[in-house]
Amino acid sequence: MIALLVTSRIEDNPNWGLPNLLDSLVEQSANYLNFEVLVKFDTCDSEVAGYLPELKKYPFAVKPLIEPRGRGYIDIHIGYTRAMMLADERVTVMGAYADDFVATRPHWDTTVLAETKQFEDDIYIIHQRPHPCFYRPGFHEQPFYPHFNLDHIDEMAIVDEGPFWSRKLLEICGGLGHVSFTDVWTVFLQWYLYHDFGINRTRFLKEPQIHRVLHDAVDTRQADRWDSDRRINFEFIAGDFYRNMVKKQARNIALNILAEQRVEDTLRPPQGSLTHPTADELEQIMLATAKGADERSRPKDSIREYREVLRRFPNNITAQHQLAKLLANHSDEEQLTVAETLATPPHQLRQKPSKPLLLNSSSALKSALAKSLAIASNHSLST
| Residue 131 DSSP label | P
What amino acid is encoded at 295 in this protein? E
DSSP string for residues in 343-377: HSPPPPPPPPPPPP---SS-HHHHHHHHHHHHHHH
Q: What is the pLDDT of residues 333-350, one digit of tens each?
A: 555 555 555 554 444 434
Count other C-beta atoms under 10 Å from residue 328's C-beta.
9
pLDDT of res. 227 = 60
Domain boundaries, the chain: 2-252, 276-383
pLDDT in tens, the chain (383 residues): 999 999 999 998 888 999 999 999 999 999 999 999 999 999 999 999 999 999 999 999 999 999 998 887 778 899 999 999 999 999 999 999 989 999 999 999 999 999 999 999 999 999 999 999 999 999 999 999 999 999 998 888 889 989 999 999 999 999 998 888 899 999 999 999 999 999 999 999 999 999 887 655 555 555 555 567 778 888 888 899 999 999 999 999 999 998 887 654 555 667 778 788 999 999 999 999 999 999 999 999 999 999 999 999 999 999 999 999 999 988 765 555 555 555 544 444 343 443 333 333 344 444 444 444 444 444 444 34
Nearest residue to 211 via CA among 159, 166, 172: 159
How far is residue 97's CA from residue 100's CA, in Å, rounded to a whole number?
8
Q: Give the distance, in angstroms, between the CA of residue 90 and the centroid of all CA atoms in the same chain.
A: 24
Question: What ranges make up the beta strands (E) of 176-287?
Answer: 202-204, 210-212
E-state strands within the chain = 2-8, 35-42, 61-67, 93-98, 101-103, 125-127, 164-166, 202-204, 210-212
C-alpha to C-alpha distance for 145 and 99, rounded to whole angstroms: 29
DSSP 199: B
> Which of 190, 200, 1 is CA-nearest to residue 94?
1
Half-sphere exposure of 219 (CA within 13 A, CB side): 11
What DSSP line would sit under 265-292, residue for residue?
GTTSPPTTB-PPPPHHHHHHHHHHHHHH
* Number of CB atoms found within 10 A of residue 324's CB: 15
Name the nearest CA neighbour of 4 among 83, 79, 75, 67.
83
**Predicted local confidence at residue 262, as pLDDT:** 61
CATH number for the 2-252 domain, one of 3.30.470.20, 3.90.550.10, 2.120.10.80, 3.40.50.1820? 3.90.550.10
Quote the CA–CA distance of 36 and 30 in Å, as a whole number: 13
pTM: 0.83
Q: Are 199 and 273 in contact (CB under 8 A)?
A: yes
**pLDDT by residue (tens digit) across 180-209?**
889 999 999 999 999 999 999 999 999 999
Rounded distance between C-alpha atoms, residue 126 and residue 129, angstroms: 9
Residues in contact with 130: Cβ distance below 8 Å, sequence separation at least 6, in sequence order = 139, 140, 142, 143, 144, 145, 160, 204
**Cα dihedral angle (367, 373, 378, 379), rounded to 10 degrees?**
150
| DSSP-derived pairing of the beta strands 35-42 and 61-67 | parallel
Q: CA-CA distance, 323 to 337, in Å (whole number)?
A: 9
Amino acid type, 107 = H
Number of other residues whose CB lies within 10 A of the CB of residue 27 = 10
